A and B are shown apart, each in its own frame.
Chain A
Amino acid sequence: MFAVCADPKAIEGLTWLSCYLTSGKHLDFYWSFVTVLLLLAVTAPAALAMGFGGAMAARSRILPLSLLGKGYAALVRGVPDIVFFLFFVIALDQGLEYLKSLAVCADHAWPWQGLEFRVCQEAKVPLGASSAFWHQAYGFALAVFTFALVFGAFAANVLYGAMNAVPKAQLETAEAYGMSHGQVFRRVLMPQMWVYALPGLSNLWMILIKATPLLFLLGVKDIVYWARELGGSKTQAYEYPHPDWRLWYFLGLLVFYLCFTKVSEIVLARLSARLSRGQATAAGEAMRRAGA
């Protein structure tokens, strides 16, 4: 990166360290923090949306829809995460390519031949000739979808419980005023359910933060992968040989995760206070008394 870094084996001390910490590989490491944060920023709303859909379906008066919602939450919550991240993703990838092959390939041979999966080159997602960026973006998209599916099932259960926790008397009162089901849901149930859902959802958020190293199983290089790769002892074959430094890299990650979860806790505590205001809960009542 800098001119002094041209010959890393000739420099030492602080210069060596500054060159080492700005090597191309370290820049990849720093970027992977952005990848993880981006994944969380995209996955959290997606999982919440999936969960909301699941909870709404589970509450539905239409039996098949209700069964679908309940089945989704029960099935996905019961399957170990590792199975999802190892097998579901490969199945999803192959399923997409199979569907695409039906549209674009000349021959429609069954692609699963023994241990191999073969579709024509045009049906590859992304195409073999696409740049590395698209391959990474595709891996990232698969990761977001899988995370949203898994965490959405947990969120569905939390939200389903929260919807049932809103006092029934309030819903009945709303109906007595002549509101339709939709109006009751939007005006009375929705604004009040979040305070009941928040403890469960904040747990999920914390677990999601710590589940991001599963990204590596999906071929996305995350911070834990890079910490392990950079920290491992390096021989003279590398430009910057060093002994086993994994301890320092993992300590760095520890600090990152602790800071991140601490900030999350602060934000969630404020959100909880904001949502409790004026609610018919113990926390809301305490706030009313303190204010009075």
Chain B
Amino acid sequence: MKKILLATTLLALGTGLAAAQDVVRLGTEGAYPPFNFINDAGEVAGFERDVGDELCKRAELTCEWVTNEWDSIIPNLQSGNYDVIIAGMSITDEREEVIDFSQNYFPPAASAYVALAADADLKGTVAAQISTIQAGYVAESGATVLEFATPDESVAAVRNGEAAAVFADKDFLAPIVAESNGELMFVGEEVQLGGGVGLGLRESDTELKAKFNTAIQSMKDDGSLNALIEKHFGPETAKF
């Protein structure tokens, strides 16, 4: 009896929350093109902006965009400063221990090394963004990992010779390499890391997670998600 009572109270509270929760705050980094970046008008733009807006429309939620430094993006989610992380965050076991993930909205993708020369020493000093799966991988590979707060700085470290190579998502690096006039090139093997990119949510927000999962599934089913991936990453990127 006590349990049933508790369950009903929780349910009532849950629905009450959902009614009050008319604005869902989406937290992103805003420095990881083409996933998310601040465009020249000063607004959040990129693949995740399009996906996030569409998901909110399908789930009938009012969403607002917030930017937060990558390094503190998980603590601020837990502290309730926003409700969802949508920042190119790969689904990993370590992160699953502290937050929940929706199903992925970007398929598991390759990470790659980029350097100034084809014979760069990938066991030497390798740059990566702090707290990413790539930084973890580099540390385990035996190379010296040089961590930076933003992805852009990790690429700049290769350009100015601070690091022999940078290791990051291939989809982030591809446009940078393509536009470098041959200065930068992919070296070494590509590596498959993580279980794709998903939305990060608080473990207690199961209802919100279910809503987003349904919305992501509907975007996968009608092909609109693939269309957005192709729009932002080009025709060669892996799709669902």
Residues of A within 8 A of B (CB): 8, 23-25, 27-28, 86, 90, 93-94, 97, 106-107, 113-122, 124, 128-129, 132, 135, 216-217, 219, 228-229, 232-233, 235-241, 244, 246
Q: Check if A115 sits within 8 Å of B78, measured CB to CB.
A: yes
Mark contacts of B77-102 with chain A using CB atoms, 8 A cut-off: 1 yes-contact digit, 0 otherwise: 01111010000000000000010000
B68 at the interface (CB under 8 A from A): yes
Interface pair A25/B179, CB less than 8 Å apart: no
Return A97 CB to nearest CB of chain B, in Å.
Answer: 8
- Interface residue? B37 (CB, 8 A): yes
Residues of A within 8 A of B66 (CB): 135
- The one of A28, A119, A235, A244 that contacts B156, using a Cβ cutoff of 8 Å: A244
Q: Is the CB of A25 within 8 A of B203?
A: no
Contacts known (A235-B175, A244-B159); A122 close to B20, Cβ less than 8 A: yes
The 6 closest A-B pairs by CB, nearest first: A24-B41, A232-B152, A24-B42, A121-B20, A23-B40, A239-B40
Chain B's closest residue to A1 (CB) is B41
Q: Which residue of B lies closest to A219 (CB)?
A: B68
Which A residues are CB-close (under 8 A) to B232?
237
Is B69 located at the chain interface by the 8 A CB criterion? yes
Residues of B within 8 A of A27 (CB): 42
Min Cβ gap A242→B in Å is: 11
Residue of B nearest to A244 (CB): B156
Is the beta-carbon distance between B37 and A120 smaller than 8 angstroms? Answer: no
Least CB distance, B136 to chain A, in whole angstroms: 20
B40/A128 in contact, CB under 8 A: no
Closest B-chain residue to A113, C-beta based?
B204
Q: In whole angstroms, how far apart are the Cα atoms of A62 and B122 in the complex? A: 67
**Contacts known (A24-B42, A238-B39); A117 close to B23, Cβ less than 8 A:** no
Assess the B22–A229 pair: CB atoms within 8 A.
Answer: no
- Chain A residues with CB below 8 A from B23, complex form: 128-129
Select one of A25, A114, A128, A236 contacting B41, CB under 8 A.
A25
B40 & A115 in contact (Cβ 8 Å cutoff): no
Q: Is the CB of A117 within 8 A of B20?
A: no
> Is B207 engaged at the interface, CB distance under 8 Å to the other chain?
no
| Chain B neighbourhood of A113, CB < 8 A | 204
Contact with A along B23-37 (1 / 0, CB 8 A): 111000011011001
Write out the residue numbers on chain B whose beta carbons fall within 8 Å of the beta carbon of A135.
66
List 20 additional A-B contacts (Cβ < 8 Å) besides A8-B40, A237-B175: A23-B40, A23-B41, A24-B43, A25-B40, A93-B81, A116-B203, A118-B204, A119-B80, A124-B80, A128-B24, A128-B83, A132-B64, A219-B81, A229-B30, A232-B153, A233-B176, A238-B37, A238-B39, A244-B159, A246-B156
Q: Which residues of B contact A246 (CB under 8 A)?
A: 156
Chain A residues positioned under 8 Å from B204 (CB to CB): 113, 116, 118
Closest to B20 in A: A121
Shortest Cβ gap from A237 to chain B (Å): 4
Select which of B24, B34, B40, B179 is within 8 A of A24 by beta carbon. B40
Give complex CA distance A119, B25 in Å: 16
A117 / chain B contacts, CB cutoff of 8 Å: 78-80
Name which residue of chain B comes closest to A109, CB basis: B13
Residue of A nearest to B79 (CB): A117
CB <8 Å contact, B39 and A25: yes
A238: B residues at CB distance < 8 A: 33, 37, 39-40
Interface membership of B188, Cβ < 8 A = no
Contact in complex: A237, B37 (CB < 8 Å): yes
Task: Decide yes or no: A90 and B64 within 8 Å by CB, A121-B20, A233-B156 being known contacts.
Answer: no
Pairs across A and B, CB under 8 Å, 13 listed: A24-B41, A25-B42, A106-B13, A106-B16, A116-B203, A120-B17, A121-B20, A128-B25, A135-B66, A217-B69, A219-B81, A233-B155, A246-B156
> In the complex the two chains form, is A229's CB within 8 Å of B38's CB?
yes
Contact among A8, A24, A94, A233 for B79, CB-based, below 8 A: A94
Q: Which residues of A contact B64 (CB under 8 A)?
A: 132
Chain B residue contacts of A116, Cβ below 8 A: 78, 80, 202-204
Q: A121-B17, A238-B39, A244-B156 are in contact. Are A232 and B202 (CB under 8 A)?
A: no
Contact B40 A240 (CB under 8 A): yes
Residues in A neighbouring B132, C-beta threshold 8 A: none
* Complex CA distance for A128 and B23, rounded to whole angstroms: 6
Q: Is B217 at the interface (CB under 8 A from chain A)?
A: no
| Pick from A107, A118, A236, A240: contact of B80, CB under 8 Å | A118
Distance (whole angstroms) from the CB of B32 to the closest CB of chain A: 10
Q: Which residues of A contact B131 (CB under 8 A)?
A: none
Q: Which partner residue on chain A sits nearest B232 by CB separation?
A: A237
- Binary per-residue interface labels of chain B (200-226) against chain A in the complex, 1 for a CB within 8 Å, 0 otherwise: 001110000000000000000000000
